[in-house]
Amino acid sequence: MLALASLLIGGPLLSKSQIDKIGDRLREGDIDADAIRALEAYRDEFTESYKYVERMFRDVLGHTVTGRPAKSTLAIIEKLRRQKTRLTQIQDIAGCRIVVGSVAEQNSLVEAAKVMLDEISVDDKRDDPVHSYRAVHLIIKQGGKLVEVQVRTRFQHFWAEISEKMADTYGQEIKYGEGNEWALNILGRMSEHIRKMENLYLRSLKLERDISGVFDRRAMKQAKKRAEELQRAVRLEFYKLRELVRQIES
């Protein structure tokens, strides 16, 4: 049994090794009131860091911030067991989410965050997804604590919500690349269509900007034709995505 009394009555904070021992107990199912209170105290250590990061994104960068200031006990235990990681190594004890309109806005927000925040690392899951999940995660070190900010586009967020709903039906394991093959296949195809659609749209925006600087009539005509082709390709990926959603709903 860990000596938690000093922590629970407002004494000195637990050391890294003590925190990891709590994580070991939670992973092994050795859970009692002391362990839960110690975990709650550990989560509370992230509160000020989380509030600072939230204010930066909301008040300085002007984005709507959603999510949670602290990861739930159940989610922490599941992650400890699934990833066999230490409690002090979990990067999203505190975290939140920002949903933006497009990949262009996503890129812009990431660059702005890198300028505004001193200690930040970028985990870009868009071209290297985890079990078909795509987003950009910002890991921010503030006040000695890590805060994770998930930055998603509307379509990436839509996929994540569909994944959660399908996990309720087909089992939580599908979120980790296991379980029902039909569900995994659908989610994988949806994710790929979203990737193609968003990348095509990004190329379309770039081409539109380039067209504004073209004065040669022939070059202008060719550029406009290419822009129309890209827009058609975007619509095609959207139709394919919509058809997969219909399959899920049927």
Q: What is the pLDDT of residues 94-145, one digit of tens each?
A: 999 999 999 999 999 999 999 999 899 999 999 889 999 999 999 999 999 9
What number is the average pLDDT over the span 202-228?
79
According to the model, what pLDDT value does residue 64 have?
A: 92
pLDDT at 55 over 80: yes
What number is the average pLDDT over the span 63-77?
82
CATH superfamily of this structure's domain 14-157: Beta Polymerase, domain 2 (3.30.460.10)
According to the model, what pLDDT value does residue 8 have?
A: 42
What number is the average pLDDT over the span 225-243?
93
SS3 165: helix
Q: Which long-range contacts (CB under 8 A, 24 or more apart) does 111-118 make?
A: 112/61, 113/56, 113/57, 113/61, 113/138, 113/140, 113/149, 116/56, 116/60, 116/61, 117/53, 117/56, 117/142
Q: Which residue has the higher pLDDT, 38 or 152?
A: 152
The 10s digit of each residue's pLDDT in 167-184 is 999 999 999 999 999 999
- The two three-digit tokens of residue 128, written as one number: 């290297």
User: Can you give the residue ranges of every domain in the chain?
Assistant: 14-157, 180-249
